[in-house]
């Protein structure tokens, strides 16, 4: 099972890299090739993110009924189809159709289904959080690995050929999932024998608090990625240094996950309930109240550490509060709120910064996160 968990994480790295992060590299060459505005091209990606958000609870219900293998197969097929359509696009219609397919694929393939597979296959609570950490450590490497790789491929081969090569990466991930991962991660006997919840399809107690906590964390991440570089440029930081500071965000998400992965014994509940919020709030305060690019980089690193723990805390909290019989559906409910926030966040942040300033918006987001701290503290350690 240990090998299957690491291979699942490897597939998450491939899928996040190809389906999510590759867009930022493909955006400019697609804009020039298709003679579309940048807003029009970015709208295709937003359509995909919205589709992913809308379908998250539906996919979760399929996973809770032990349809992981079929969900994965459908997702892989749609991912390959969507990339193929994008590679052959000559206008907005086919581009949007391709990214719509990829959005449905993301709902079937990215973290939520992977979390469900682990949660339903692992009985031991301590090993389950280690397994989730392993998956997120590998998934967290996606931007580090694929942004430069896709950039080189686009430079050498063009964006259309690069998109077709990404189809090959999808086929590789599909093969790994089919041969080694899914057969090794069946639902445990505890899950298989558990009766359906009488409240299935409704939101259980504490669910609104979870949605508020995690949607706020997602909004904060979108605020940092959207506003940080404009803030640094406004402070006369050189563009390469500004990009380096933002890069600290992705790298800093890994240490907390690695610490949980390599730790011994049970995870103290407050670590995953309150530490992510505390690190994020601290990081945002440092970013908005200091002037040196290196002190800002330290603030971004603090924020990234909290963001990395935040990703891991969601599946852990949900399985602690509600068990694993409906873990995929409930993960999907929270993921839907996060997905809508992720899709709307950049527009909201840019609009707010236009009215006030990037510093004030980031400080306001820190205040919003701080408000969610009491909600996190009041969450019980288990059902």
pLDDT tens digits along 136-169:
999 988 888 898 899 899 999 999 999 999 999 9
Q: Is residue 293 within 8 Å of 242, Cβ to Cβ?
A: yes
Query: Mean per-residue pLDDT for 323-343?
Result: 89
Cα distance between residue 172 and residue 345, in whole Å: 33
| pLDDT for 161 | 97
Q: How would residue 195 be classed by pLDDT, with cut points 50, 70 and 90?
A: very low
pLDDT value at 188 more than 80: no
pLDDT value at 180 more than 70: yes
Cα distance between residue 291 and residue 41, in whole Å: 35
Q: How would residue 325 be classed by pLDDT, with cut points 50, 70 and 90?
A: confident
Q: What share of the chain is helix, strand, coil (3-state, %, to 5)?
A: 85, 0, 15
For residue 123, give the nearest of 322, 323, 317 by alpha carbon.
323
Query: Mean per-residue pLDDT for 341-357?
Result: 88
Q: Where in the chain is the domain with CATH 1.20.1250.20?
A: 2-187, 207-378
Domain 207-378 is in which class? mainly alpha
| pLDDT for 362 | 95
pLDDT value at 186 more than 50: yes
| pLDDT for 125 | 75
Query: Mean per-residue pLDDT for 17-39?
Result: 91
pLDDT tens digits along 90-101:
999 999 999 999
Query: Mean per-residue pLDDT for 59-87?
Result: 94
pLDDT value at 369 more than 80: yes
pLDDT value at 198 more than 50: no
**pTM assigned to the model:** 0.85
Cα distance between residue 219 and residue 120, in whole Å: 29
| pLDDT for 235 | 87
pLDDT value at 192 more than 70: no
CB under 8 Å to 58, separation ≥6 — which residues?
107, 332
Most confident option among 114-128, 202-216, 257-271: 202-216
How many angstroms separate the Cα of 53 from the Cα of each of 46, 49, 104? 10, 6, 9
| pLDDT for 347 | 81
Query: Mean per-residue pLDDT for 307-336?
Result: 89
Domain 2-187 is in which class? mainly alpha
| pLDDT for 91 | 95
């Amino acid at each position: 099972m240990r090998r299957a968990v690491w291979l699942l994480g490897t597939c998450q790295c491939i899928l996040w890299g190809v389906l999510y992060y590759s867009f930022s590299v493909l955006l400019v060459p697609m804009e020039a090739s298709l003679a579309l505005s940048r807003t029009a091209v970015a709208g295709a990606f937003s359509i995909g993110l919205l589709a992913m958000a809308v379908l998250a609870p539906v996919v979760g219900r399929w996973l809770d009924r032990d349809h992981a293998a079929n969900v994965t197969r459908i997702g892989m097929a749609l991912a390959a189809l969507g990339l193929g359509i994008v590679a052959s696009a000559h206008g907005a219609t086919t581009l949007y159709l391709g990214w719509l397919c990829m959005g449905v694929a993301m709902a079937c393939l990215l973290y939520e289904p992977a979390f469900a597979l682990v949660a339903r296959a692992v009985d031991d609570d301590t090993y389950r959080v280690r397994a989730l950490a392993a998956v997120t450590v590998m998934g967290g490497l996606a931007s580090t690995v694929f942004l430069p790789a896709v950039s080189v491929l686009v430079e050498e081969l063009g964006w259309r050929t690069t998109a077709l090569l990404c189809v090959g990466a999808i086929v590789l991930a599909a093969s790994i999932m089919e041969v080694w991962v899914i057969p090794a991660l069946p639902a445990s006997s505890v899950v298989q024998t558990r009766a359906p919840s009488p409240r299935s399809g409704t939101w259980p107690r504490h669910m609104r608090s979870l949605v508020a906590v995690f949607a706020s964390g997602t909004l904060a991440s979108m605020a940092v990625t959207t506003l940080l570089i404009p803030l640094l440029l406004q402070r006369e930081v050189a563009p390469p240094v500004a990009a380096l500071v933002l890069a600290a965000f992705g790298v800093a998400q890994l240490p907390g996950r690695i610490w949980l992965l390599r730790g011994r014994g049970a995870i103290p509940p407050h670590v995953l309930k309150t530490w992510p919020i505390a690190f994020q709030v601290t990081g945002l305060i440092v970013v908005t109240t200091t002037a040196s690019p290196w002190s800002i980089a330290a603030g971004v690193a603090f924020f990234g550490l909290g963001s990395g723990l935040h990703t891991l805390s969601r599946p852990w909290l949900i399985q602690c509060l509600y068990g694993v019989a409906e873990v995929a559906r409930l993960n999907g409910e929270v993921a839907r709120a996060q997905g809508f926030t992720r899709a709307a966040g950049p527009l909201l942040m840019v609009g707010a910064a236009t009215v006030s300033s990037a510093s004030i918006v980031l400080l306001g987001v820190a205040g919003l996160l701080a408000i969610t701290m009491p909600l996190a503290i009041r969450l019980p350690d288990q059902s």
